[in-house]
Chain A
Amino acid sequence: MSNGNKEVLTGHQVVANAMRQVEPDVVAAYPITPQSEIVEYFSQYVADGKVDSEVITVESEHSAMSACVGSAAAGARTMTATASQGLALMMEIVYIAASMRTPIVMAVANRALSGPINIHCDHSDSMAARDSGVIQLYGEDAQEAYEFTLMAQRLAESEDVLLPVMVTLDGFTLTHTAQVAELLPDRAVSDFVGEYDARYPLLDVENPTTQGPFDMPDYYFEHKLQQVDAMDNVPDRFLQVQEEFNDLSGGSYDGLFETYKMDDADYAVIILGSTAGTAKVVVDELREEGKKVGLLKPWLFRPFPAEEIKDVLLDKEAVAVLDRSLSFGSSGPLYLEVSSALSGEDTKPRLYNYTYGLGGRDIKEDQIAEVFEDLENPDLEDKMRYIGARQ
């Protein structure tokens, strides 16, 4: 990174700073652990005159997302942040935001869904939104959460996309811990995100539009297909945004997922979010022992980069997909995607599914090392395994 600023910051602070630098016109939010401090920091920046945004802390997340859709439809650049039950309560309007093609950028501090009530991290909240039509980016650390928030803005507002983007960061693990992060200069970010020029703003009285009306069977289907097209445009657009971002930051984003020591790996794990960081340590340790192991960490989960991931996995011996959420009565959401990506191939790795870390249950290096050990067994039974759970 060329002209940045290395600081020790929490996940809350980096996201709040990204929001400050993006300078949205409107932020509507409601407090919820472990998100609340993002909006607290942002409110402080607004109060201190460091950013010119309207913040309204409304009476629920349902109202927050509703206010965001109203604001975005009016033509304003709009952001919010939430977690867990908050996202669940927003869900009705998240679908509306996607189908109204409002480019809202939202941070989700991943936290388990109730019940039982739990405030700690898993991915059940964002996974519940995976069919809603939002683009989903998963960050491994504060730096990625920061950079994805900036890139999300460009991605969301791309002419052929116009969809909301959810940037997730693991609750507590990333939101509450201080890490070294490098922020870009304010001016560089404002140049990168540019001015938002809404295509059909409701407040453009010269060109009046009606938005969100009733859709009958004669057109509803086609309108959904427009969303499909928009989602299909995301991977290329994301790569393009990454390229421009690299020019700005000196970074090296060049894909829809990160591969770590995968080129010659025989055995691989696939993990979303902060646990990928733990897995990298394990990969390094096992590599020192001469084991050919690697990690694949999807950045983009919606749309899911199935073809690209398939190409990386096909020559592997065995692959474990570690899910941090359940899809009761089925396999884990990430496993289903990977499994589907590999279906139809004659020669493909043995594929296994593990569930870990529900409700904040810690996962340690030796547990990931055990997964790699499992993979070496050619007769390993194909069934769901629950890491660190009492059974």
Chain B
Amino acid sequence: MTTELKQKEEVKPELTSAEHPATKYLREERLPHIWCSGCGLGSAVTSLTNAYEKLEIPIDDIGVVSGIGCTGRAAGYFETDSYHTTHGRAIPFATGLKLSNPEMNVTVFSGDGDLFAIGGNHFIHAARRNVDMTVICVNNYNFGMTGGQFGPTTPQGATATTSPYGNYEDPFNLPDLAASAGAIYVARWTSVHARRIQQAMEEALSKRGFSFVEILSPCPTGYGRKNDLGEGIDELKSYQDRTVIKHGSDPGDAEIERDPEAEIVVGKFVEDDRPTYCDVADDYLQGQ
């Protein structure tokens, strides 16, 4: 026994190690994260840290703000300035952050329930005002953290803990809502599109004004399980099969249906420019 162990030690290869590229943006002491296996949140966080890295945004210039929910836990993992707000209030908090420090690159990273149910009012008003921030919504079609209740993005007919025989409400089409409310950049990808997400985040973070990126994510524990979507990997495969890239298309046509065969439109829907809230306020007040 002793000999065997000794032999093992002798042949043990030297470990090679390198710092993970995301490490400098994350609080390693808070890891491992709480997210379930198969969840798309890890890809979304990695894409965001990669985007920060690529754009060479100094870590001290970044503010990450989250609300409540599975996605809401992200703020606690970022080594940047970060804030975990109460449910739904990430955007107004981020607005205050931006106004007090206009140089800061403010990212709101939260879920569909947080941003579009309890926080929906804030989303449309920040978009209307064109407050310079990037809102990243990881959409998993349900309230994951509280146990899989249906919410404002749950497709019609989908099963949830509060809709055991199917949701009969009409969901929001988030790119369409964002575009209608005045967002100057609107894109949607899924967590299978890791490089596309990163590219969209880079573009969104570079834009001045209210930019919005939706990331469709598997939620095998909450949504997937109740809707026979299999494991997280199966949902990713279905995204690969179902998505059709239509840059510049009408976001009104980007509705998501429950049918696992139905097409999901992804891509960049809006890329526009208009003066931000701070620009308008400065110009207006100077004119007075």
Query: Which of A's residues lie within 8 Å of B, judged by CB?
Result: 30-33, 36-37, 39-40, 43-44, 47-48, 55, 57, 59-61, 85, 89, 114, 117
Contacts and interface: CB of A to CB of B under 8 A. Distances in A.
Contacts of A44: 164
B165 A31 contact: no
Nearest to A62: B118
Contact of A117 (B84, B161, B162): B84
Contact of B86 (A39, A47, A114): A114
Interface of B: 68, 84, 86-88, 117-118, 120, 143, 145-147, 149-150, 152, 161-165
Contacts of A39: 149, 162
Contact of A60 (B118, B143, B161, B162): B118
B147 A36 contact: yes
Contact of A36 (B86, B88, B146): B146
A286 to B, nearest CB: 41
Which 5 residue pairs are nearest across A and B when measured between Cβ atoms?
A: A60-B118, A31-B146, A43-B162, A40-B161, A59-B117
A57 B150 contact: yes
Given A31-B143, A57-B150, A59-B117, A85 B86 contact: yes
Contacts of A59: 117-118, 120, 152
A39 to B, nearest CB: 6
Given A60-B117, A114-B86, A31 B164 contact: no
A85 B87 contact: yes
Contacts of B152: 59
Contacts of B149: 31, 36, 39-40, 57
A117 B145 CA distance: 14
A194 B173 CA distance: 44
A64 to B, nearest CB: 10
Contacts, number: 53
Most-contacted residue by chain B among A30, A39, A43, A57 (CB, 10 A): A57
Given A30-B117, A57-B150, A60-B117, 4 more contacts: A32-B87, A33-B146, A40-B162, A44-B164
Given A37-B147, A57-B150, A47 B165 contact: yes
A43 B164 contact: yes
Nearest to B116: A59
A43 B147 contact: no
Contacts of B117: 30, 59-60
A32 B152 CA distance: 16
Given A30-B118, A114-B86, A117-B84, A57 B162 contact: yes
Nearest to A59: B117
A55 B152 CA distance: 15
27 contacts: A30-B118, A31-B143, A31-B149, A31-B162, A36-B149, A37-B147, A39-B162, A40-B149, A40-B161, A40-B162, A43-B163, A44-B164, A47-B163, A47-B164, A55-B162, A57-B149, A57-B150, A57-B162, A59-B118, A59-B152, A60-B87, A60-B88, A60-B117, A85-B87, A89-B87, A117-B68, A117-B84
A45 to B, nearest CB: 10
Q: Which of B86, B117, B120, B162 has the most CB of A within 10 A?
A: B162
Given A57-B162, A59-B118, A59-B152, A40 B147 contact: yes
Contacts of B146: 31-33, 36
A69 B267 CA distance: 43
Contacts of B150: 57
B145 A33 contact: yes
A280 B162 CA distance: 38
Interface centre among A33, A36, A39 (most CB of B within 10 A): A36
B257 to A, nearest CB: 21
Contacts of A30: 117-118
Contacts of B87: 32, 60, 85, 89
A39 B165 CA distance: 15
A13 B281 CA distance: 53
A39 B147 CA distance: 11
A304 B166 CA distance: 45
Contacts of A89: 87, 118
B220 to A, nearest CB: 19
